[in-house]
A and B are shown apart, each in its own frame.
Chain A
């Protein structure tokens, strides 16, 4: 479903991604892990072109994302993204946050958008917060709303950029629970995370990045038991 070929990304002279290739199938859940500065987030952000790759080809479904003639806005409607710092719209209520894009980008009717938003809010356990502004929510609640907002567009892939890294420890669980149920429902997901237990439990594959390279691509059972590379071994010793 997603194909990445020889992806390079440089910021000025600093080459952050040094030729990454991989393929992600429908309904797969991918966890990307690696030390900070390894290029995990940049890799994720290249997929929906929040960062423009310096080189390489990314294909999502039939769309060659990196092709200049592709309407990237159209592609992005189909790729949900959840950020470390939520980025909810602070001047809009929870419900407005979720209904804005479906109504204004996809032209969904107001009633339909609200019905869908309420269903999603129930799914993430926040229906009673529908009319609150984001500043009234805890970090965990914000992130769950952000997930609902992304899902409202009916994306076929969801990208998660360290979704729990900015949360207080007691709120991590509620967000991971929502993500797990999403994975169970068959959503294709690419998750940059530091939550090793979550990655082990939920992911189908672990992509281990280090120094801008895809060092390892293994199922979690094997990765956490005996990683193939010395670098992954070293990393796991530090974090586990």
Chain B
């Protein structure tokens, strides 16, 4: 039988996990964006070594399970370097590194989709490469890839639930703890589900607004 009364007192405890989840997602997104842009620039650049490194990086992080990457960072790095890493930084690091690989592919595609004429016009005006990328090419690429980036962001928000395996106290972990304490797993997990769903709806809404704002020159 469903008995939500048993978990109601624990709802505030589960809700506190939103902050933890958002911290992981925001930290990982910022890291993923910076890394993604750098990797994308390496991939489209003329330096072969950088291109190979960036491609290899991407294939590793896309070719292995995220939960494995997370556990390697949390359990294996301390073993290697004799340092302790807390669950939160480990989670942000793992998600950021992983997300960087995916975002770099999105951005690379976005850059390639910008009309080649934009680069030629920039060259003809004597605009240096870095400024051309920053002010001319990337802003246009970003606009094109907003939907894909939002998608990645939303996926990250949901997938962050696996940090529960290293014990970070996010929404998922807290629901699991509450469920375990009174054997009302279903109720606790359903509450977690509702929270994730509402977060996704809000993110989708914000994403749409952002897309609209960025398309004012259309």
Contact = CB atoms under 8 A, between A and B. Distances in A.
Interface string A78-119: 011101010111111000000011001100000000000000
Interface in B121-162: 121, 123-128, 131, 135-136, 139-140, 143
Interface in B186-218: 216-218
B117 A91 contact: no
B48 interface: no
A91 B217 contact: yes
B86 interface: no
A149 interface: yes
26 contacts: A50-B120, A50-B123, A50-B124, A73-B126, A74-B126, A76-B126, A79-B124, A80-B124, A81-B124, A83-B117, A83-B124, A85-B117, A87-B120, A89-B118, A89-B121, A90-B140, A100-B127, A100-B135, A101-B125, A101-B127, A105-B125, A105-B126, A105-B131, A133-B216, A135-B218, A150-B125
Instruction: Give the bracket for the number of chain B residues in contact with chain A.
Output: 20 to 34
Nearest to B140: A91
A102 B118 CA distance: 17
Contacts of A153: 125-126
* Those 10 A-B pairs whose CB atoms lie nearest each other, nearest first: A87-B121, A87-B117, A81-B124, A77-B126, A101-B125, A76-B126, A133-B217, A73-B126, A105-B126, A91-B217
Most buried by B among A76, A80, A83, A90: A90
A87 B118 contact: yes
A157 B156 CA distance: 52
Contacts of B217: 90-92, 133-135
Interface in A26-83: 48, 50, 73-77, 79-81, 83
Interface of B: 115, 117-118, 120-121, 123-128, 131, 135-136, 139-140, 143, 216-218
A105 B130 CA distance: 12
B117 A105 contact: no
Instruction: Give the bracket for the number of chain A residues in contact with chain B.
Output: 20 to 34
A48 B126 CA distance: 10
A165 to B, nearest CB: 14
A50 B143 CA distance: 27
Given A77-B126, A81-B124, A153-B126, 12 more contacts: A50-B120, A73-B126, A75-B126, A79-B124, A87-B115, A90-B140, A91-B140, A91-B143, A105-B125, A105-B131, A133-B217, A149-B125
Given A91-B140, A135-B218, A105 B127 contact: yes
Contacts of B125: 76-77, 100-101, 105, 149-150, 153
Nearest to B117: A87
A149 B124 CA distance: 11
Nearest to A134: B217
A109 B115 CA distance: 29
A133 B139 CA distance: 15
Contacts of B127: 100-101, 104-105
Nearest to A100: B135
Nearest to B125: A101
Contacts of A101: 125-127
Contact of A105 (B118, B120, B128, B139): B128
Contact of A89 (B126, B128, B136, B216): B136
A104 B123 contact: no
Contacts of A100: 125, 127, 135
Contacts of A87: 115, 117-118, 120-121
